[in-house]
Amino acid sequence: MRRLLLMRHAKSAWPPGVEDAERGLEPRGRAAAAAIGAWLRAQGERPDAALISTARRTRETWDLTARGLFPDSEPPKPRFLERLYLASPEEILAVLREEAPPESRSLLTLGHNDGLQSFAEALCGGRAENPADARGFEKFPTGALALYEIPGDWADLTLGAARLTGYVQPRDLL
């Protein structure tokens, strides 16, 4: 089994005159990203690869999450992919199939809504063993993270084949 950690960027600022892709995190988002990283570390999650949208807010979310997750070691070197910027569920699936390192056992993917929320539900066929984990199907707020077990290789990933094993959002932690 492989692990997929699917995360939406943390809360971003909306400064006037700044293009969408260049919006950074607001203070609450910075705290949330660090908290998610610490939570992942406490859960024993250690992604060995990361695929991140090129938007500034996703890059900042990765930096802060990685600091909380790897406080005493080097995090995996992320790959920043333009294809993940505002990607549809179909594009997210294609990115995972084509860009996930074949040797990776645990992958963190960081992107945006609306595509991310739809992908999160479709990936497990809308099934959650724990009803609290299904919260992400209705709303996948900024900073939220869903955890999946993935059978087989990344290149063979299909919608409905994953098992949702956890879900957390910043308000659960802050």
Per-residue confidence band for 16, with pLDDT thresholds at 50, 70 and 90: very high
Could you tell me if residue 151 is inside a domain?
A: no
Q: Which residues contact 137 (CB under 8 A, 6 or more apart)?
A: 117, 120, 121, 126, 128
Could you tell me if residue 150 is inside a domain?
A: no
Note the pLDDT of residue 130: 87
pLDDT in tens, 124-166: 999 888 888 888 888 899 999 999 999 999 999 999 999 999 9
Could you tell me if residue 132 is inside a domain?
A: yes
Which range of residues forms the domain containing residue 101? Answer: 2-12+20-145+157-173
Q: What mean pLDDT is predicted for residues 29-51? A: 97
- Tokens 């860009």 map to which residue? 99
Could you tell me if residue 64 is inside a domain?
A: yes
Q: How many structural domains does the chain have?
A: 1
pLDDT in tens, 73-95: 999 999 999 999 999 999 999 99
Tokens of 172: 């659960």
pTM listed for this prediction: 0.95
Could you tell me if residue 152 is inside a domain?
A: no
Could you tell me if residue 137 is inside a domain?
A: yes
CA pair distance 80, 1, nearest whole angstrom: 25
The CATH number assigned to the domain holding 95 equals: 3.40.50.1240
Q: Find out whether 124 and 162 touch, Cβ atoms under 8 Å.
A: yes
Q: CA quadruple 61, 57, 9, 169: dihedral positive or negative?
A: positive
Using alpha carbons only, give the angle 88, 94, 97 rounded to the nearest 5 degrees: 145
What percentage of the chain exceeds 70 in pLDDT? 100
